Chains A and B, each alone.
Chain A
Amino acid sequence: MTWRSPGNRISHEYPGRVRAILRSVGELSITAGVIMLLFCAYLLWGTSAYTQRQQLLLQQQLAEESATPAQPAADGKIPKISLGKAMALLRIPKLGRDYRYAVVEGVETDHLKKGPGHYPGTALPGQVGNFVVSGHRTTYSAPFNRIDELKRDDEIVVEAREARYTYRVTSQDIVEPNEIEIIAPVPGKPDISPIRSYITLSTCHPEYSAAQRLIVYGVLKETEERKV
């Protein structure tokens, strides 16, 4: 054997260098994997911290507002809710006694990070038309994670400043992301003008995907005026 001879020194050291490179590649790959796992954990749990902080503030805002009755502005109209502000409290008894989220006005990314968002321009709670609310299913506290469990006649309670509105679930559907007919004043029937008050909840479907949307429909069952 001549592997110790000076002529073969390079081929003697070469395997060591290859090993070092391979080890580094391996270490980097494992590191990348660990970072990706950590990122998944962040998406599922880290983002919730922000939502929970915001919800505390928003629910506080709602509590303060409900202490003072809505004052119509000088022109007699109730002032419009500004984007990003809390507009009502959503409770779904089926999903737990403590299930309550402040609904934010607006459905842009920044609004939905704070909680379920109301589509501006769709009906307000209790109004004739369609009260449409979207919420995250997996990230940012995942308020609508379990709305697939809602069955016919389950209650969705919306506590607005002036009254408590109880809707009952009528049906559930899975639609494509571009089916905006579901937010029409009569859900799914954009050509008809409404005579009833509807509620429509939307979230992503299947879970962890942006492929489709899960929709829960409801109709107003009961209105209980808030005593001032």
Chain B
Amino acid sequence: MYGWLWRKLPAPLGKRLLTAAVLAAIAAAVLWYAVFPLLEPAVTLDEVTVRR
């Protein structure tokens, strides 16, 4: 999977590394700002109130 992706990236090593870093950053940002806020309410590790 990652091998295939690596081979698709533009040729010189420096450019490849840079593109890979940018792609990883984009993936992380999408998770952090879009996906995690949607998942967060399902996690109840911090229930603080008492109720029946």
Contacts and interface: CB of A to CB of B under 8 A. Distances in A.
A23 B5 CA distance: 14
Given A28-B1, A39-B36, A46-B32, A209 B48 contact: no
Interface in B16-33: 28, 31-32
A177 B36 contact: no
Contacts of B40: 42-43, 47, 139
Interface residues of A, number: 37
A213 interface: yes
Contacts of A178: 50-52
Nearest to B45: A208
Contact of A138 (B3, B46, B49): B46
Contacts of B3: 23
A136 to B, nearest CB: 5
A202 interface: yes
Contacts of B46: 136-140, 204, 208, 210
B11 interface: no
A203 B52 contact: no
A210 B44 contact: yes
Interface in A183-222: 183, 202-204, 208-210, 213
Interface string A17-54: 00000011001100000010011001100110000000
Nearest to A140: B46
A112 B41 CA distance: 12
A144 interface: yes
Contacts of A204: 45-48
B47 to A, nearest CB: 4
Interface of A: 23-24, 27-28, 35, 38-39, 42-43, 46-47, 107, 109, 112, 119, 134-140, 144, 175, 177-180, 182-183, 202-204, 208-210, 213
25 contacts: A35-B31, A38-B28, A38-B31, A38-B32, A38-B36, A39-B36, A43-B45, A107-B48, A107-B49, A112-B48, A134-B48, A139-B45, A177-B51, A178-B51, A178-B52, A179-B50, A180-B50, A180-B52, A183-B50, A202-B49, A208-B45, A208-B46, A209-B45, A210-B44, A213-B49
